[in-house]
Amino acid sequence: MRASGGVWFALGRGELHIGIEQPFTPARKAHPGLRLADVAALETLAERLAAADAPVRWDDRYPGVRRLFTDDPWGNRLELLATRR
């Protein structure tokens, strides 16, 4: 991926591919959504993000889903969610 200006991360069975555009403009609306194992894991991650001074914006528009938005260090929007049980 390096030759085409991207990077590929793998952890366990999960993979994340990231491409880079020049000139760079943060994606404020378009974003990846990542599902966590459960609500407890999401809330723990939210606490860690807040402790690191990362933004945590909870969104409760979808019944049965607990989710938040945050930004990566470059200003790109990220969605993190878990299904309520």
- Domain map (residue ranges) of the chain: 26-83
Whether the Cβ atoms of residue 66 and residue 38 lie closer than 8 Å to each other: no
Residue 69 CB partners (closer than 8 Å, separation 6+): 31, 55, 57, 59, 77, 78, 79, 80
Mean pLDDT by 10 residues, the chain (85 residues): 74 82 84 93 97 97 96 92 92
26-83, what's its fold? 2,3-Dihydroxybiphenyl 1,2-Dioxygenase; domain 1 (3.10.180)
**Structure confidence at residue 1 (pLDDT):** 55
**Structure confidence at residue 2 (pLDDT):** 60
**Structure confidence at residue 7 (pLDDT):** 81
Statement: the pTM of the whole predicted model exceeds 0.85? no
Instruction: Give residue for tokens 């990231």.
Output: 18
